[in-house]
Amino acid sequence: MTKQNTPEARVMSEVERLGLRIAEMINSPRAQERCAALIHRLDTDTDQAWEAVMELLAETDGINMTFQDDGGVLLEWVKPTDEDRIVEQAEVETVEAAPF
């Protein structure tokens, strides 16, 4: 049995593929340093996938989206402070382990 025929093998959806590409841009060292990333739509991105990812980004707290004349979107965010990181760590500690 080849890897493609196993139940674990799965093809990524267009939304997942686009989301992964945008996540790589956001997580790049330069974008993290600047707290901003300029994303562009590729010819291979479908209207449905683009709109779905833009909607997800718009619903994300702390992200400012500026739509550019050329079709790109500038994503900007505020760098988390040490205080923000402490709150995040406290929230992680309160999560219970899975019962299995």
List residues bridging with 38 in a β-sheet.
Answer: 74
In a domain, 82, yes or no: yes
In a domain, 8, yes or no: no
Query: Residue 25 belongs to a domain with what CATH number?
Result: 3.90.1070
Report the pLDDT value the prediction gives residue 80, as an integer from 0 to 100: 75
Residue 4's pLDDT band (boundaries 50, 70, 90)? Answer: low
For residue 36, give the nearest of 79, 68, 71, 72 by alpha carbon.
Answer: 79
- 73-77 and 63-67 beta bridge pairing: antiparallel
In a domain, 4, yes or no: no
In a domain, 89, yes or no: yes
**Rg, the chain, Cα only:** 18
Number of domains in the chain: 1
Report the pLDDT value the prediction gives residue 69, as an integer from 0 to 100: 95
Report the pLDDT value the prediction gives residue 81, as an integer from 0 to 100: 74
pLDDT at 90 over 60: no
Under 8 Å between Cβ of 66 and 73: yes
pLDDT digits (tens, 9 = 90+) for 20-70: 999 999 999 999 999 999 999 999 999 999 999 999 999 999 999 999 999
Distance CA 52, CA 15 (A): 7
CA angle 60, 65, 69 (to 5 degrees): 150
Residue with the two structure tokens 């674990």? 8
In a domain, 63, yes or no: yes
Q: Is the pTM of this model over 0.85?
A: no
